[in-house]
Amino acid sequence: MTNLEQSVPESLYEFIYNLMKANVGKNGLKYFSFIFCIFLYIAFGNLIGLFPYSFTFTSHIAAVGALSLLALFFNVIVGIYNRKWGYLRTFMPKGIPYALAPLVVPIEAISLLSKPFSLTVRLVANMTVGHIMLKILGGFVVALGIVGIVPLFFQALIIIFEIFIALLQAFIYTVLSCIYLGDALRSH
């Protein structure tokens, strides 16, 4: 089957599958459904806010933070399940002198706990800023009346740009989730 004969859902499925294969490896493909659902959730949440009178739930810290924490717990559980007690080597990588353990272990713990924070802040900030721009320009269009055609043109361009940003942010969130899952599956 050629790419032209594939439907959008099939192409999307194949895209995420290849993304996982590249970042997580064949061993991690059994977690495909989780990663695919994350991508769909984020992409849907980002795109739905571009429709008038709709709500972008991915611009709120509670929604994205809960998903990021779920992804962190999922990665920890997968890491413990696959590597058993070897998962604790995440906090003290091989080759580090034991004398540095009091310094290295807290740094690695903070690194692990900062992952959901960085995922959340990145997505929330990007979605919030884009939608604020759309609302400001929308206000100009209404306030200027007939002269508002110029801001309306820019509004159309920003909506196209926001569609791109919405899908890009879903992609970035998914890639980082794949990388974090790959870290949980592989030993350092």
Alpha-carbon gap, residue 41 to 39, rounded angstroms: 6
pLDDT of 28: 86
pLDDT surpassing 70 at residue 4: no
Alpha carbon 26 to its chain's center:
21
Alpha-carbon gap, residue 71 to 74, rounded angstroms: 5
The string of pLDDT tens digits covering residues 142-160 is: 777 777 787 788 888 888 9
Higher-pLDDT residue of 168 and 85 is 168
pLDDT of 36: 95
**CA triple 165-17-112, angle to 5 deg:** 70
Closest CA to 127 of 66, 48, 69: 48
Q: List the domain boundaries for the chain.
A: 22-185
Alpha-carbon gap, residue 83 to 183, rounded angstroms: 11
Alpha-carbon gap, residue 29 to 36, rounded angstroms: 11
